[in-house]
A and B are shown apart, each in its own frame.
Chain A
Amino acid sequence: MKLKEINRTAIQSWSPAQHHPIYLATGTSAQQLDASFSTNASLEFFELDLTEPSLDMKSCGSLSSSHRYHKLVWAPYGMDDQSHPSGVLIAGGENGNVILYDSAKIMAGETDVIIAESDKHTGPVRALDVNPFQTNLVASGGNESEIYIWDMNNFGSPMTPGPKTQPVEDVSCVSWNRQVQHILASACPSGRASVWDLRKNDLIIKVSDHSNRMHCSGLAWNPEVATQLVLSSEDDRMPVIQMWDLRFATSPFKILENHTRGVLAIAWSLADPELLLSCGKDNRILCWNPNTAEVLYELPTSNQWCFDIQWCPRNPAVLSAASFDGHINIYSIMGGTNQAQSQRHADQISNSFGNMDPFGTGQTLPPLQLPQAPAPPATVNPLKKPPKWIRRPVGASFAFGGKLVSLENPKPNPQQPQQPASHVVHVSQVITETAFLKRSDQLQATLSAGSFVDFCQGKIDAAENEFEKTLWSFLKANFESDIRSKYLELLGYNKEELALKISAALEEKPAEPPQVEVPAPVSLQPLPDISLMPPTDPPEAAFNMIAAAVVPPVDNPEAAFDMIAAAVVPPVDNPEAAFDMIAATNLQPAMATMEIDSIPDPEEPAAADPEDAPTSKPEENVDQVLPEEEAVEEEIPLEEEEEETAAPDEEEERSPPETSAPAPSPAQAPCQTPAPAPTDGVSLSISQDVDGLITQALLTGDFEGAVELCLHDNRMADSIILAIAGGVELLQKTQKKYFTKTHSKITKLISAVVMKDWHDILKTCDLQSWKEALAAVMTYAQPEEFSALCDLLGGRLEAAEDAQLQAQACLCYICAGNVEKLVSCWTRAQEGHSPLSLQDLVEKVVVLRRAVEQTQHSGPTAIGILLAEKMSQYANLLASQGSLSTAITYLPDNTNQVSVQQLRDRLSRALGQQAATAPAAPVPIQRAQPQPRAPTQTQHASAPPQHTFTPIQPAMVPQPTAAAPMPMPTPAASAPAQPQYYQPVEPPGPMYGMQPSCTAAPPPPSSTPGYMYSQQYQRPQNGWNDPPALNRPSKKKPAPMNYAPPAPIMAPLGADPQAQQGLSGPPQAMGQHGAQVPYSGMQQQLSPPPMNPAMPKTSMEGAPGAPTGDVIQPLQSITAEKILKKPIPDEHLVLKTTFEGLIQKCLAVATDPQTKRKLDDANKRLEALYDKLREQTLSPAIVGGLHNMARSVEARSYTEGLSIHTHIVSNSNFSETSAFMPVLKVVLTQANKLGV
């Protein structure tokens, strides 16, 4: 194909291979005149720009010259050291001159372009060649047998290769050997070639045949074989190219005959030694394989002789040919069409040929298939032989599972090309993340051993930072007894220590610093105000105490109430301590108001180490924070003495709150209600003041009125005490009123404790005191609200500005057992996504999930999108490292993410397991095109579940009930070795779950997806996006996303689950609306959802035509058989009897219970086959195959049966046979093993 054209009658030389971009230098030819008869000469440079589609070549510089040229060569000399960045162009002139031009300078338009010049030669210099090894050496040939070797480093004095040959002749060609740098050949028009050895400085051999008709126009060495050269003959009587081997120099080794007139020039490709160009006076340009003397290619040329032809050294497919008609043409020998060039503008408009197939027949593509016909000049067949440079010798490609496939082609030996060589392909495993894999293995080991405590401890020990340590400590706590107190301990509250401290405090003398009595964690730090009230109000420390010690502080007017509250809401497990605290903390307000409150230190709480807190000495802490402590101490004792007297009372008579209530704070009560004095007589005055009214009300038993009065009179303590006597209802009312009236700082807290409503506190508390808030939740929250409360706090922390607080949210989520949130929080905290950080995450997630299932004995939150994504990322990563079997265990089941489904399918197939679905889906057609079969097929798929649905249930119940309850109560304990980390959370992968994680055992019988699933499907799912795993098979071959599901089927199916939802435990409701159905163990056991939940979703998601119905059919059939059994056609009955008989035989022999189970299972599952037979839905090929199998079974030739089996499986639509073929395989394998 013609690429470019230059309108010059000129000789040419390509820029050296090293040079980029590619240039072509042209020099006015000395031998030809153009029509102008001008004898002006010039050197010109053109750039070969293939990105430019036009035929023109861009001129890049020219030089007018007084010489015309016979020969041009372009040496890379000086390019490396940049002395001549574009090399040196060497020209042979008419008058015996050899001129060295600096190419770069010519192109730059400079004037001093000549590096050196010599006119030492006699006559025109027709021959030039640059030594390929020493680019500073140029050989030139002139008349009178003159050959000079020029050293461009020292140009003045050339040497000769030896004594002149005799008789004296013109030298038409010189050429350096391509393999041996000191060998030079020259040729003369007489047809003789001489080979010189420059080391010996002598002629070593003369080559000539005896025809005397050779008129040597060209000489070239074989680029690969040092002893071979070709000579071309210009003589029309002998238009040949002779190939000589100097080892047999008596006659030509080969003669290339095809030109009809003399050959004017030859060029041997350096890129492929099997390509030799020649051009002749017959106007042809031929490309030969000189080794076979075969013409590989003939270039389309004009009607003029070419006198010079050159391969482009850099672009091996490109050549240039100079012809006498005044053109230099640039061609590609790779074929193609130059029509494209001339039509380029037209092409730009319609270059994607949208109408190439206007009739839509598509089969033969007439316009493209017959391109040659209409445009004969346009198309040129490419070389018969593929050139070496496009024969790719290597190529390593990645494949799934971190495999690398690489080729090994032995290097062809040019000397012995016939030698047979083995061509192999290596499949390698690439493992780049060893550290990651190691940790993954550890996690695996932990999971199978169930040694989570050790695992967590190991993580704690190895933790790189405190946060990590805390995180793992929290996770570890999940596996220990009394989780909440462990959490509390981790938060810095140790009940026992606290109790000790309290009792110690009570025994101490009043002189002791009051701070000692403050429970340790509280004294740790003053905490910011949780109620967000002005700081002048009672101290935050009070809250701390409550939170920590479960003892309400006694705070001025509320004191009495507080104590009552404490009594009403007894602390979790040691009320004594609480009461002790009441006494002790009576001191607190004054002290705290004055001191702690005044020196809030917001930084300390965050930095405080919860681990250290219980052990550290409170005094020290307080000392650090409260430098003014001394002053406080002086003031406090006074108060304390008063309190001391009250405290013992309280201890003695704690049950009737009335008696102890007045004690704490008589002096401080703002209403100045006198404390009841035991010595006074009872006042029964019924005066008209408030006291009198109260008295009257009391006397009449009108507690409500009395309380109202007290409240109105702001006698809080009285009102509360009275309310207690008035009954629970009144008390609650009073409490409410109290809280609405009172606005002290800790009111909210007290309110929370009393009203058991923590939401408000958690919503409003200062985030810096998250720890305290969490501790309070730990202490007070009911189990059912605990998670939600922790979540709430976690959510607030996560939303915080402070990055440190954000990270702490993780702890809340761990307490809440909220895996999904943990993931999102952790993910946000971690920058980047290196394998190890993913491993970090997965470790936590897996441990937490296991913890949740262990502690809460109920399904934790379902796998959400983010977690599913992370898990599939993790699985992907494992897969990329070759850990396929491990990877599959981490794939979340209950997600409808297509990528996850695909990955699972891919993994299971890669593992050699029978995939749940075959890739045998009908080839999807283009998006716009409706598939005609779709409606019928989908209807077929969707119809059965609707009518079989209800009847199935009773039939299905027995199987799951046997299995379901067992793993429930003690999931971790009962199944520690199972690698299905999600099992308790949601149904495990039906096929993979049964398999030990690492063995490559043959697929167990459970590998038929649907059926097994129904057995393992134990629990309703509560995730919004949990597609019942049953539909996974059908999703494995999801139609392309762009396939809109057919509208018609949506309506009935979409409606169906809704309609059923109200029923008790309808499977669809369970599956699809699980989140709304309250969880109940009973329900779950009684009505395990069978496979049908899959149906609606499947049909909605499945592509039209995807064989969803078929996939599920086995299940339907199992049950359908119990309802309506058509008889198996007689001709196929033999199948049933044979297979059943075989199973019975096996059962009779089998001893291993596992095998028996398998066989039993198989027996049941073969119903799927029988159903297909009943329905006659199997293709004749399959039925035929089954009969063959049955025959081989009868002949007890199980291996043959298995091979038939393989044949059937590999030749059939998987979905058609997936229900029973794997079962049959199991049976046959077993039979073979058992030798029945």
Chain B
Amino acid sequence: MASLEGTERGNTGERTGGELDTRWVQIKIDLEGTVFRGYGATVWTHGVLPLSQNPVSVINTVDTSHEDMIHDAQMDYYGTRLATCSSDRTVKIFDVKNGGQILVADLRGHEGPVWQIAWAHPMFGNILASCSYDRKVIIWKEENGAWDKMYEYCGHESSVNSVCWGPYDFGLILACGSSDGAISLLTFTGDQQWDVKKISNAHTIGCNAVSWAPAVVPGSLIDQPSGQKPNYVKRFVSGGCDNLVKLWKEEDGQWKEDQKLEAHSDWVRDVGWAPSIGLPTSTIASCSQDGRVFIWTCDDPAGNTWTAKLLHKFSDVVWHVSWSITGNILAVSGGDNKVTLWKESMDGQWACISDVSKGQGAVSSITDTQQNEQ
């Protein structure tokens, strides 16, 4: 907490050297207002970054016309369609090709706020899953240009907070985390059939987030004899109101708790399993009500030894983490309506490379940083 006060004061220029929290350092690099910040005890610089340019620039702003708060926005696999969901109980799909915004569909069917949406891999067709406070999960499918319910799952007893499709290698499989503490796994078995497995009491008083592990076991990418079926294990991570991050894996058709990662001191709001980049390391980001974001890594092929590294402690709830497709940048969305981008430097330190307020791409300018360094 204290460190964050320091940050704010720094922004307003009122801080004096004596009050400077030693846990963070700010470095001003150019005159354009681009600020490179270092958090933690080490000062870092990032030579790769543009000096005169913010790494984030808005290229399209879509007015969703939602009548209430938007809770999630997800691009499809190709980045040409945008799905949004809102407290107004609707899910909307926009065609955003070439910077446009054409409303393609306005999906109504939920009876409560829709929290999350997830696109299935396009090899299965255009399929979108949504979950809502109404305890339902709806899987929508586009057939002949029209979106319809493909399946409605009502097996939860409380708000369904998160949905996530598994890697396409496993077929159509959806994990759903609910406030009733359970996680459901819905598997499409063909002919409109869905097989349901449920992990009860996965997180006491609620599961807030689920995220699948990449299908490829880390490291197996390199020495995989071509043509041979890789040994896929279905795994995912979940985070919940019991402050835990849990890893689950399927063994003999049964879901088992694989790991329990404890570091957060409040609700885990979101978890994100980083895409595999061919390295023999698994990486998970978790963020919490307590303002902390942890990066969990595991080098051990058996997946048993996870180590946590604190990315940063924010002043407010951290709601959402999202990995870039290449898995090297983490976007962190905080309750202060700020999005920060983080990247791991060569020496393994996580550094903030962009600090975006309200999606405007503006970086808060800091005028007194040079002073502070002296």
Contacts and interface: CB of A to CB of B under 8 A. Distances in A.
Interface of A: 1, 3, 20-21, 50-51, 53, 314-315, 317-318, 332, 334-337, 340-341, 344, 347, 351-354, 356-357, 360-363, 365, 368-369, 371, 379-380, 382, 386, 390-409, 411-412, 422-436, 832, 834-836, 865, 876-877, 879-880, 906, 909-910, 912, 919-921, 923-927, 929, 931, 1000, 1037-1038, 1040-1042, 1181, 1207, 1210-1212
Given A925-B190, A1040-B169, A365 B180 contact: no
B126 A919 contact: yes
Contacts of A428: 56-59, 356, 359, 361
Contacts of A912: 80, 97-98
B158 A425 contact: no
Given A397-B320, A430-B324, A1207-B145, A390 B63 contact: no
4 tightest A-B CB contacts, nearest first:
A399-B75, A919-B122, A362-B193, A925-B190
Contact of B144 (A365, A925, A1211): A1211
B138 to A, nearest CB: 14
B242 A50 contact: yes
B21 interface: no
Contact of A395 (B68, B126, B197, B333): B333
Contacts of A910: 78-80
B86 A423 contact: yes
A423 B190 contact: no
Given A393-B319, A912-B80, A434 B53 contact: yes
Contacts of A923: 124-125, 172, 188, 190
A36 B106 CA distance: 64
A394 B339 CA distance: 9
A832 B346 contact: yes
Interface stretch (B37-45, B198-206, B293-301, B365-373): B198-206
B259 to A, nearest CB: 13
Given A352-B198, A395-B320, A876-B326, A403 B206 contact: no
A430 B255 contact: no
Interface stretch (B9-17, B24-32, B149-157): B149-157
Contacts of A334: 158-159, 179-180, 205-206, 241
Contacts, number: 373
Nearest to B161: A390
Contact of B333 (A390, A396, A920): A396
Contacts of B218: none
27 contacts: A1-B205, A51-B242, A53-B204, A347-B201, A351-B254, A353-B197, A386-B112, A390-B208, A391-B69, A393-B319, A393-B337, A395-B71, A398-B329, A399-B79, A400-B78, A404-B331, A427-B59, A427-B61, A427-B75, A428-B56, A432-B48, A433-B48, A832-B346, A906-B78, A924-B124, A926-B195, A1040-B171
A244 B55 CA distance: 51
Given A334-B241, A386-B112, A408-B359, 12 more contacts: A336-B180, A393-B71, A394-B338, A407-B359, A409-B69, A422-B63, A432-B341, A865-B226, A921-B123, A923-B190, A926-B189, A1041-B229
A340 B207 CA distance: 14
B7 interface: no
A351 B199 contact: yes
Q: Which of A351, A352, A920 has the most CB of B within 10 A?
A: A352
B180 to A, nearest CB: 4
B294 to A, nearest CB: 15
A919 B157 contact: no
B205 A392 contact: no
A369 B155 contact: yes
A263 to B, nearest CB: 26
A426 B359 contact: yes
Interface residues of B, number: 130
Given A351-B255, A390-B159, A425-B64, A317 B319 contact: no
Contact of A397 (B47, B61, B64, B331): B331
B3 to A, nearest CB: 13
A3 B204 contact: yes
A1166 to B, nearest CB: 24
Interface string B254-269: 1110001010011101
B197 A352 contact: yes
Contact of A398 (B172, B189, B319, B331): B331
B181 A424 contact: no
Contacts of A362: 189, 192-195
B123 A431 contact: no
B109 interface: no
Contacts of B161: 390
Nearest to A382: B158
B116 to A, nearest CB: 8
Nearest to B197: A352
Nearest to B51: A434
Contacts of A404: 56, 322, 331, 339, 341
B62 interface: yes
Contacts of B66: 423
A347 B200 contact: yes
A394 B319 CA distance: 7
B75 A423 contact: no
B200 A351 contact: yes
Q: Which of B68, B75, B96, B343 has the most CB of A within 10 A?
A: B75
A423 B64 contact: yes
B356 A432 contact: no
B187 interface: yes
B69 A880 contact: no
A763 B71 CA distance: 67
Given A386-B159, A407-B70, A427-B61, A335 B204 contact: no
B244 interface: yes
A1000 B112 CA distance: 41
Contacts of B361: 428
Nearest to A393: B69
A386 B256 CA distance: 30
Q: Which of A363, A394, A395 has the most CB of B within 10 A?
A: A394
B128 interface: no
B358 interface: yes
A880 B158 CA distance: 38
Q: Which of A50, A337, A435, A929 has the most CB of B within 10 A?
A: A50
A428 B58 CA distance: 4
Nearest to B78: A909
Nearest to A19: B265
Contact of B73 (A314, A351, A425, A909): A425
A365 B171 contact: no
B30 to A, nearest CB: 13
Given A50-B241, A406-B73, A426-B58, A392 B84 contact: no
B320 A392 contact: yes
Q: Which of A314, A396, A924, A1181 has the most CB of B within 10 A?
A: A396
Contacts of A1212: 144
B79 A425 contact: no
Contacts of A363: 192-194
B171 A925 contact: yes
B315 interface: no
A425 B230 contact: no
Nearest to A335: B158
Contact of B123 (A380, A836, A919): A919
B253 to A, nearest CB: 6
A431 B241 CA distance: 35
A428 B333 CA distance: 14
A395 B72 contact: yes
B243 interface: yes
A396 B48 CA distance: 23
B144 A405 contact: no
Contacts of A402: 324-325
A365 B155 contact: yes
Contacts of A401: 79, 325
B74 A344 contact: no
Contact of B171 (A314, A393, A927): A927
Contacts of B84: 407, 425
